[in-house]
Amino acid sequence: MKVRGWWMRWPAAALLIAAVVAGCGRTGFATRPPSTDSSALASWVSTPPSSPAPFSTSSAAPSAPPDETITNATMIYYDVTGSTAQELRAQMSEDGPLSDDGHRFDARTNWYISWSWPGYGTRTCNLQDVTVTYRITVTFPHWVEPTNPNPALVSRWSAYTQALATHEEGHVDFVVSHYQAVATAVKNATCLTADAAAQAALQPIRQHDLDYDAATNHGATQGATFP
């Protein structure tokens, strides 16, 4: 896996973007600006804002299709068509979310953590009033079922997507449980070192993603394999 960092300055605020890719026994790590989140992968998309200002600590797709959903994440669905398991596999392999290093995955979890404080970028700041928020998106397959689909295939797909959602949820839950470590790190820093401290506080989250994928074989041990 490749791990890279990307961050940019905004007036009176700092933003660090980190993205984790996972799904169906394969995983990678990539970063990208939030403006590329909605990459026209699907018919149903709850598009995150491109500006850091509206970031919130939880979100949900307002009109999602009848697929798996994950608490605290915005679901972005891409269509999968076919009437056999082999056709569905081929479609996901062709149209699944693409990582920055050119690999496709059945599902992809991206997490974004931002922070700001009064006087950001100056020597006379107020780190005790730091604000840290997160935004998480999960790109996920949606099967557009044919007329009279095979009941066995329907059952198989349902079991697979449930397992895939369980795996992605593991990434999501850890971010939600640990993102405030950034605030703790900032408060214990100085105005000149707070940014570096915030970035360092993200490393345990990144490491968890790597360890979690290794322990679950990227979701395979949780049943996230298809067909």
Block means of pLDDT (10 residues each) for the chain, 227 residues, are 27 34 30 27 30 32 60 96 97 88 88 96 94 97 95 96 97 98 98 97 95 91 96
| Cα dihedral 221/223/226/227 (nearest 10) | 100
Judge whether 227 lies within some domain: no
Residue 81 token pair: 């068509």
Q: Per the structure, how many domains does the chain have?
A: 1
Judge whether 111 lies within some domain: yes
Judge whether 1 lies within some domain: no
Q: Determine the Cα–Cα distance for residues 222 and 226; give it in Å rounded to an integer.
A: 12
Q: How far is CA 225 from CA 23, 26, 63, 182, in A?
A: 9, 10, 27, 34
Question: What pTM was estimated for this model as a whole?
Answer: 0.73
pLDDT of residue 100: 67
pLDDT of residue 6: 29
Segments forming the whole domain that contains residue 151: 6-222
